Amino acid sequence: MPGGAGGKGGAGDASDAQGPVGLPEHAEAVLALARAIPAGQVATYGDLARLVGSGGPRQVGQVMSRYGSGVPWWRVLRASGRPPVGHEELALEHYRVEGTPFVGGLPNGAGMPHGDYRVDLRRARWSPESVGSPGGQRPGGQTQGGQTQGGQMAGGRVGGGRTAYGRGGLHHVEVWVADLGAARASWGWLLGELGWVLGDDWGHGIAWELGPVYLVVESGPDLVAGDHERTRPGVNHLAFHGGTREQVDALVAAASAHGWELLFADRHPYAGGPEHYAAYLHDGQGFEVEVVAT
């Protein structure tokens, strides 16, 4: 991890196998989880934040940066599956030794670019059997038999107590934008209102998470010039469950202050049909979302 990757981590240099003397309680909890991740598996900063139960991805990143030299820092990465910033090549060596799966990569990691690759979170994400919960209860309320506290069957568990969908479930969505600052404001507000949480921010991209799914907004070096146009061939829009009708109405009322405008205003809220209560919004970069009352 940053600081530890080069063997020159600041406060982390004072650590022994159990961590630095006088380590903050939150940091101790984060490092204990990092040590527990098996070889060949990984967890995101957000996963560890949820397991610890306090702080967020940024706080976990700070702990790993300052104290992480004595733990397998390469097993804690960003929500996009990318390794810690500035330590991609060294992390890649560890992943190859441990057999960590890559997105689109060969089993032995051959051919992976040193600075731009992703760990396959679908296959590599750590699923702790328990996190000290009484009665063998899994994180997130799932019991050992796979039954949730609400009585509904859940899917397999992934790091952070998140439920993993089976084959065919949506894993993630990646949206490339020309103006990341504008997208950070508009998408960040909208997703936050809908219950998504910030999972990672790596400078030219941001990831938000909801359950087992994450959404990336990115403006990387491979982006080509041009504007997005929703009416051209390609993805037209993303649709989200918006809660009650009152919640959808409140979202529409606030949207214009956060970079979104209402589409089909003359037919709102039934632009999708007389039985379909939804808001269609678009932002200044031409992206459309549908927020459906459910």
pLDDT tens across 159-205, in order? Answer: 333 444 456 778 789 999 999 999 999 999 999 999 888 877 777 88
Same domain, 70 and 178: no
Task: Indicate whether 102 and 158 sit together in one domain.
Answer: no
Look at the alpha carbons of 227, 181, 190, 121 in this order and tell me if their dihedral is positive or negative: positive
In a domain, 194, yes or no: yes
Closest by CA to 80, choosing from 45, 112, 30, is: 45
Compute the residue count for the chain. 294
What average pLDDT is seen over the chain? 78
Q: Is 182 part of any domain?
A: yes
CATH number at residue 25: 1.10.10.10
Same domain as 274, residue 189: yes
**288 and 182 both lie in a single domain:** yes
Do 214 and 154 sit in the same domain of this protein? no
Q: Looking at the structure, tell me whether residues 180 and 275 fall in a common domain.
A: yes
Q: Which is more confident, 214 or 158? A: 214
Q: Is residue 3 part of a domain?
A: no
Q: Are residues 229 and 261 both part of a single domain?
A: yes
**Residue 142 has which token pair?**
């799932």
Contact 227, 179 (CB under 8 A): no
The CATH number linked to 210 is 3.10.180.10
The domain tally of the chain equals 3
Say whether both 249 and 271 belong to one domain.
yes
Asked whether residue 83 carries a pLDDT value surpassing 80, the answer given is yes
Alpha-carbon torsion 113, 104, 61, 5, what sign? Answer: negative
Pairing of strands 197-201, 278-283: unpaired
Cβ proximity of 291 and 277 under 8 Å: no
| Residue 273 CB partners (closer than 8 Å, separation 6+) | none
Look at residue 4 and tell me if it is in a domain.
no
Say if 5 falls within a structural domain: no
**Residue 103: band (very low, low, confident or very high) from pLDDT cuts 50, 70, 90:** confident
Is the pLDDT score of 139 beyond 60?
no
- Evaluate whether residue 24 is within a structural domain: yes
* Structural domain span for residue 263: 172-292
Residue 6 resides in a domain: no
Does 129 fall in a domain? no
Is the pLDDT at 3 greater than 80? The verdict is no
Q: Where are the alpha helices (DSSP H) in the chain?
A: 25-36, 45-52, 57-67, 88-98, 121-124, 180-193, 245-255
226-246 mean pLDDT: 93
3-state secondary structure of 139: helix
